[in-house]
Structure 1
């Protein structure tokens, strides 16, 4: 979602950023700053990434409360932390009470497909980013099959939100675990993106930007193929080279 603003006597298109309160079982669980749109997918992807749900749920904006409040059907798989999550558009793990809450355990990943290096390098070119092209202000995540066909793409001011939306859509489409699919993100590869991909069972994660040290460590620990600097027909492989042909 974009809106128009004036600057220097001209009109610019900028990304919308608004809070979304995610509720489950009638109680607030988290507040995240996001770009409105696909909010049900965002809520499901977020709760799945926190280990609070294990499959698709009904999720609706609550007309009685606010357009920025969404209610997810229960019950939850576990009790949420006593401290509510507050997630900014720039940080997907801010507000966690302890590192243990971040390090949600994911099972070892499936062997997954073997993919040509050239295809991995080309994924960012196949990632649809129409709102970014008009505003320059959004991140994107795309879900691809092992032949490089784009299945789902979502944009958001928060890179972690874009991935949550894609994973939420995959939950609704009953594609999770993503054991034969690939994820590609439009920016750098931080810890929380690797964690979300691992929890969704995705064996290959590609990014346009650089990975962090903790992202590489987590990818190697979970047996994930992690690729960064995918641009200009080239890509660096930081973990899981056995899946790269």
Structure 2
């Protein structure tokens, strides 16, 4: 069973130091949109996803990988990077585009959080799309757990924190111990308040307002869905694959 007394939540990738994650189980959360896109790519049979921090790292890696089965993917400030094959809309990652491909993935917030957390014991990727799979996996873990919200440029993103709260709520069957960490209490309380209106809260979030101007509402509708798959993305040796694939 997950230990909710020690489970911690960080509100952005700038609110923790790498050493705080040593020997811990980490879930990186970027609901809009990196986590949702990674899960969708694996659901549609991508071979693996290599997260990078910037275009320079993406370029270096692309030169050492079989280009026939490689796609450069990602965004900067929500917009597809010029010259890349795909952006960061999960709706772009269809079976026809990604099956059996290795994706180099570069985003403004999500992949930076992943790269900063590589020193953890196990690193999973979570969003509402694979909620129950994340909860089931964490319930089986014996180590301390950290939920990392990618946020947006160092700021809190309410959709990430809502997902963290949903995970904690489900792990505790709707209760939270008094000894829980402050971050867990905030996430849990936020989810309790808004749990009947998750999709509406996501659509009204600050990050959603930015995305609507770039991608409309379709990505928001997609990312607000719960449990559409049992994909469990896990990072090993620099590449994200589906643990159950």
Short-chain TM bin: under 0.3
Q: Which has the higher contact order (CA 8 A, sep 6+)?
A: 2
The structure with more radius of gyration: 1
Scaled by the length of structure 2, what TM-score is found?
A: 0.26
Scaled by the length of structure 1, what TM-score is found?
A: 0.26
More strand by share: 1
